[in-house]
Amino acid sequence: MNDARKVRGGKRLHRPAPVRSGTRRRLLFKALLGLGAGTVLYASVDVGAWRAYEAVEECWIRDRHELLVQIAPGAVGAASLDLEVRLADLRRRALEFRFLVLRDQTLLQGGIWQLTALPLSPAVHRELSGNSEYRRAQDRIRLLNDALRKHPSFDTLHRAQLRLWKTPQYREIHRRYTGKMQELQRTWAGSAWTGPASVAAGVAEEH
């Protein structure tokens, strides 16, 4: 049988679909916790930690965008919308972080890596849903996503994204991103936990 997929024990083995980079980072975080690394990951995740993480994450998003445009110049319009979606999502997560440290700080026990996928409790979700600024952020992301899906070069962008993570250039920018995240984790893992009051005060200073 001339089929690239192997058959073993009468069952056809399917090649798994590629996992997106954001999902890979979340899986890495969960794997570390599953291996008992929770005490290593625990850190004083405060407003300063978020600002440092946000800068690294935005740099990663922009580097990824530039690489996408290089490998798929025909998708520059859709890629620009994709960039806006990702930056808007980062801003939304900043709002989620501020609410989390004020309302339920016990969930912030995963250090810097946890900031890639904040654990929002049902209570925090309910509060966020009633916040006008957060609803505006949600609406903006929804509108941007709709515009992206309707863009003429969306299919070209989608194909480029599937090729992107296989390129050596992508591996290099991902290596840089991971290195910066590890540096931040070491910095905040070594800082002293000063208690919930100081975290809430730091958030209040931002408003």
* pLDDT tens sequence across 27-39: 444 443 333 333 3
Q: Are 78 and 153 in contact (CB under 8 A)?
A: yes
Return the SS3 of 153: coil
Task: Provide the 3-class DSSP secondary structure of residue 31.
Answer: helix
Average pLDDT over residues 13-32: 43
pLDDT tens-digit profile of 106-116?
778 778 888 99
Q: What is the pLDDT of residues 43-62, one digit of tens each?
A: 446 788 899 999 999 999 99
Q: Which helix (H) or strand (E) holds 12?
A: strand 11-12
Over the stretch 134-146, which tens digit does the pLDDT of each residue have? Answer: 999 999 999 999 9
Closest CA to 56 of 165, 189, 184, 186: 184
Q: Give me the pLDDT at residue 142, please.
A: 98
